Amino acid sequence: MPPRTLYQELITAWRLQRQANPALAVTFFAILAGLALLLTISLAHSLLYGNPGYFSLANYGGLAGFAATAAGAFLVLFLNKTKQLTQDALLGFAAGMMLAASSFSLILPGIEAAQELFNNSGLAALLVVCGLGLGAVLMLGLDRFVPHEHASTGPCGPEVRRISGIWLFVFAIALHNIPEGMAIGVVFAHGDLSVALPLTTAIVIQDIPEGLAVALALRATGMSNRRAILIAAGTGLLEPLGAILGFSIASSLVFAYPLSMGIAAGAMIFVVSHEVIPETHRNGNQTLATIGLMIGFMVMMFLDTALG
């Protein structure tokens, strides 16, 4: 029997994963189909009626996230060895900024936008809550159906033996950038810089340690500095793509803006709770990581108030 290709292994792994998680599989792929339909409608609407200035701002925001990831990767030239304590503190700081950004730059503005739409606080909160749930299920589905690896829990998703652990780790970091890019695109959809600037600032700041973490991990496998930097920087390319996706959805149907803010917030909170915080606590540095989280939360809250 000839050896199976990587594509065949992936198909088999996805089939087994779907059989093991039937309810999640149906829900996840239904959400993907709904988002694909909404995206198609949104892209057509954006081309016909969208504001090109806002679209450019969303692109710049996504590119800023990519640039920050690349800058973090470039730091590997100067920080060949970074203490684990420092890495955990930086990741905790990033987690705090993302939690505050989800609350102050996505959830609260989303509820305000929905209240203007429905003139009913209950319906407004319900719409954003539905978005939070959709965002969490979307990331849970990606966690189950995309091969990747967390340092704290090991390989996740479909088991594909051909993909090494280091590449699974790279995929995990790349997955982080999808909700971050979507969040940038969503907040720029209406051109409200008082919301968009603090959120984009938070995402850009926390992308730097992520880029460095990927580059350091690749260097540890014996990869050259140049190649490690290029691959680590490449993980940030999903941010501008996510920004286009978020902008297209949020700028079309009237209810899509607050709903998409909830989706982006739910996805970001899921990532922080499911991946970032466990990673910062696995080495016994939970106290410093928690302090970093609190500082990051306070810095983001200040930025949101000062820039808003």
Each domain of the chain, given as residue ranges in start order, spans 6-307
pLDDT > 90 in the chain, percent = 9
User: So what's the pLDDT on residue 219?
Assistant: 75
User: So what's the pLDDT on residue 104?
Assistant: 83
Provide mean pLDDT across the span 22-46: 73
Report residue 291's pLDDT band, with 50, 70 and 90 as the boundaries: very high
3-class DSSP state of 156: strand
Count Cβ atoms below 10 Å from residue 165 Cβ, excluding itself: 14
Given the DSSP bridges, would you call strands 148-150 and 154-156 parallel, antiparallel or unpaired? antiparallel
Instruction: Check residue 155 and report its DSSP letter.
Output: E
Mean pLDDT of the chain: 77
Spatial distance between the Cα atoms of 50 and 214, rounded to a whole number of angstroms: 36
Report residue 238's pLDDT band, with 50, 70 and 90 as the boundaries: confident
> Closest by alpha carbon to 9, among 182, 163, 142, 190?
163
